[in-house]
Chain A
Amino acid sequence: MSTAMNFGTKSFQPRPPEKGSFPLDHFGECKSFKEKFMKCLHDNYFENALCRNESKEYLECRMERKLMLQEPLEKLGFGDLIGGKSEAKK
């Protein structure tokens, strides 16, 4: 659709991601987290809301291995999950 050269239609302008690009995980360091996440998705009929813990863990793995810039989890939209985790730790 974006390749149709119509003067009337608006074409889609891809926007760069806000935090840039993920470096490739060449060594598969976070592969186990990814597998857990994909399994959770499969089990829950691809409902994202039920697998947010797993996605948070995957991103934490990336941050630890320097495959992603360190960011407080609230800024990534996991604010509601952090409170639960800190309670579980205590």
Chain B
Amino acid sequence: MGGVWHTAWRRLFFCGWHSFHRGSTARPAERVEPFLRPEWNGIGGAERGLRLLGTWKRCNLGARDPAVQPSRRPKSSNPFRRAQEEEWRRRNKTALTYVAAVAVGMLGVSYAAVPLYRLYCQTTGLGGSVVAGHASDQIENMVPVKDRIIKVTFNADVHASLQWNFRPQQTEIFVVPGETALAFYKAKNPTDKPVIGISTYNVVPFEAGQYFNKIQCFCFEEQRLNPQEEVDMPVFFYIDPEFAEDPRMIKREAGEPQSSRKKRKNCQPGVHGQPVI
């Protein structure tokens, strides 16, 4: 037992000395090596003894040959375990590469999804999005579907702070799909100051609104009315002939475009008027 203690003391001594004398060129492995020889204190006695004292790990740092790569010290000296750990490390690395590739792939797909979805919507026309092909040649060539008469009612709303009198000049109009139609709204500025307004529209019911195409109207642009001025505002529109072929539209016979006016004065944006349902 005394021999074991003696060995431990020696090992500790060497470790401490090594850390203080960093510049020393002496190789601690050479110094320790005689203590590791089996004949010193029985086979593996030195190791066993030091391990019991728990100083093995600490001194291991100084005892190793510094020529070995310091960053990749295996945790154990057992060659089989080392091979296994190498295998695990390799497998972890491949798994990590796969996961990183999947993450990058997902990011790419999310970026590509936007134009792809737009393409999809254009071809299938779902969601009421703009379908390419509503050109003026379509208007030229479209044939009115004379047996589906649709009643279009007109409504107008004005934002509370806008002092215009804004109303449709006809409450309803009967059109057929494929036929262009004209409708009028009237706006009057009863105040003594010029007022600028801007309007927008919506169509209810929503599904029918997809077929409602405006060729020209007075919306989306600022319109200025001088004091006491009254103007007629036309809306030139048509209903797409495909309305007649949509199976969802069989029961629909009335559509209702509404115009709402919001006020814009001194470039202050107004609030969209509440449409009436």
- Residues in A lying within 8 Å of B, measured CB to CB: 1-3, 10, 12-22, 24-26, 28, 31, 34, 37-38, 41, 45-49, 52, 55, 58-59, 68, 71, 74-79
Pick the residue among B139, B224, B233 that contacts A22 (CB under 8 A). B233
Interface of A, helix, strand, loop or mixed by DSSP? loop
* Interface-located stretch among B59-67, B84-92, B102-110, B165-173: B165-173
Which chain B residues border A2 with CB–CB below 8 Å?
A: 202, 275
Closest to B277 in A: A1
**Cα A19 to Cα B221 with chains together (Å):** 13
A-B contact pairs, 18 of them (CB 8 A): A1-B204, A10-B128, A13-B128, A21-B217, A26-B229, A37-B182, A38-B184, A48-B173, A48-B181, A52-B179, A59-B182, A71-B136, A75-B136, A75-B137, A76-B139, A76-B180, A77-B179, A77-B238
Q: Which residue of B137, B169, B202 has the most chain A CB atoms within 10 A of its CB atom?
A: B202
Pick the residue among A17, A58, A74 that contacts B215 (CB under 8 A). A17
A-B contact count (CB 8 A): 129
Which chain A residues border B21 with CB–CB below 8 Å?
A: none
The answer, yes or no, to whether B236 is at the interface (CB within 8 Å) is yes
Pick the residue among B173, B218, B221 that contacts A46 (CB under 8 A). B173
Structural contact, B136 and A18, CB atoms closer than 8 A: yes
Please provide the chain B residues from 162 to 207 with a CB less than 8 Å away from any CB of chain A in the complex: 169-170, 172-176, 179-182, 184, 200-204, 206
**Cα A58 to Cα B232 with chains together (Å):** 12
| Closest 9 pairs (CB-CB, A-B) | A77-B180, A55-B182, A17-B214, A21-B221, A48-B181, A19-B216, A75-B136, A12-B202, A48-B175
The answer, yes or no, to whether B94 is at the interface (CB within 8 Å) is no
The answer, yes or no, to whether B9 is at the interface (CB within 8 Å) is no
Pick the residue among B174, B175, B229, B236 that contacts A59 (CB under 8 A). B236
Nearest CB in chain B: distance from A26 CB, A: 6
**Cα A14 to Cα B262 with chains together (Å):** 15
Pick the residue among B176, B219, B224, B277 that contacts A49 (CB under 8 A). B176
Structural contact, B172 and A46, CB atoms closer than 8 A: yes
**Cα A75 to Cα B139 with chains together (Å):** 6
Q: A15-B213, A18-B216, A48-B182 are in contact. List 20 more A-B contacts (CB 8 A).
A: A1-B202, A1-B275, A12-B203, A13-B129, A17-B214, A18-B136, A20-B216, A21-B216, A21-B220, A25-B232, A26-B226, A26-B231, A34-B234, A48-B173, A48-B175, A49-B174, A55-B180, A59-B182, A76-B215, A79-B140
The answer, yes or no, to whether B274 is at the interface (CB within 8 Å) is yes
Structural contact, A78 and B180, CB atoms closer than 8 A: yes
Contact-residue bracket for chain B: 35 or more
Given A21-B220, A46-B172, also A75-B226 (CB < 8 A): no
The answer, yes or no, to whether B36 is at the interface (CB within 8 Å) is no
**Cα A14 to Cα B273 with chains together (Å):** 14
**Cα A15 to Cα B275 with chains together (Å):** 16
Please provide the chain B residues from 207 to 254 with a CB less than 8 Å away from any CB of chain A in the complex: 209, 213-221, 223-226, 229, 231-234, 236, 238
Which chain A residues border B220 with CB–CB below 8 Å?
A: 14, 16-17, 21
Nearest CB in chain B: distance from A39 CB, A: 11
Nearest CB in chain A: distance from B108 CB, A: 27
Which chain B residues border A21 with CB–CB below 8 Å?
A: 216-221
**Cα A25 to Cα B209 with chains together (Å):** 28
Structural contact, A3 and B238, CB atoms closer than 8 A: no
